[in-house]
Amino acid sequence: MWMMAKRLGLAAVVLLCAVSRVWAQGPPFQTDDPVPVDLHHYEFYIFGALDGTPVEKDATGPAIELNWGAIPRVQLHAILPLGVVDPSNNPAYAPAGSGPREFGLIDTEVGAKIAFIKESKFMPQIGSFTMFELPTGSVAKGLGVGKVWYRLPLWAQKNFGPWLIDGGGGETVVPQVGYRNFRYGGFLVKYTFGERLELGSEAVYHGPEGVATPQTMAATLVDTGAVYHFKHNTNRQLLVCYGHSVAGQTENYAYIGMYWTWGKDAKASGTGFLPQGMNPAAAWNGIR
């Protein structure tokens, strides 16, 4: 596999269109990816996030996220979050955005990421990341929906040396009064500078989510974010992102978190995915 990767890297230099081995994105961006955690590997995040409109500000954090490469091409996922709801109580938005500020456990997220098609020279990686939001938050306090709701997306990703492109979207299904089903999607472009820094920008869209949410109307946002790899521990990263709406309802998005990964050496697992925690530019340089 190493010799094959090396030959592919050499071909990329000549043809200017080949790819590096698969490298995933996701947090801190809203656009996700179709790349599961490598087999027998784990990812752990501690993070905080904000998504607010003039109707209400909703903050998540402190929250923890755990991803596990359970079987080849399948990742199991869970987020246990605390959160804040801060309604504006502006009569212009009534009945939305009304009530007291509350803090506590919000709905818990579990899911599975499955890679259907692996990335090749001409084919992007394609997969799904189905998520189930469990009703652990208090409905009376506005911290939860009160029923299980779902995210059903399809994502595609292509690597071009230090460049990464992600895109896709899907449907959110919320079977509860005051909420509505809505479509969402995103497109991300990211570039890796050396072995320490990744910078990216994305455009994301969501439809109106219902009067019980801050996102009562559709919006398109542009976000910019960064991933910093620590020098003496490549399996630890700092993630930040901020964005603002450019069309539709006024909306802000922000994310800050710490990331760790560990597990068996990916070379031994035989999945062909990049070892967790390795910087994609370093891998690209290695296969050239």
- The pTM of the full predicted model, rounded to 2 decimals, is 0.84
Domains of the chain, CATH where assigned? 23-281 (2.40.160.40)
Whether 263 contacts 276, CB under 8 Å:
yes
Whole-angstrom distance, CA of residue 147 vs CA of residue 128: 22
pLDDT tens per residue across all 288 residues of the chain:
344 444 434 333 333 233 333 456 789 999 999 999 999 999 999 999 999 999 999 999 999 999 999 999 999 999 999 999 999 999 999 889 999 999 999 999 999 999 999 999 899 999 999 999 999 999 999 999 999 999 999 999 999 999 999 999 999 999 999 999 999 999 999 999 998 999 999 999 999 999 999 999 999 999 999 999 999 888 999 999 999 999 999 999 999 999 999 998 645 433 333 434 444 444 333 332
The count of other CB atoms within 10 Å of the CB of residue 41 is 24
Give Cβ neighbours of residue 13 (< 8 Å, ≥ 6 apart).
Answer: 288
- How many secondary structure helices (H) and strands (E) does the chain include? 3, 13
Task: Please check whether residue 72 is in contact with residue 193, taking contact to mean a CB–CB distance below 8 angstroms.
Answer: no
Which two structure tokens, joined as six digits, stand for 124? 């992007």
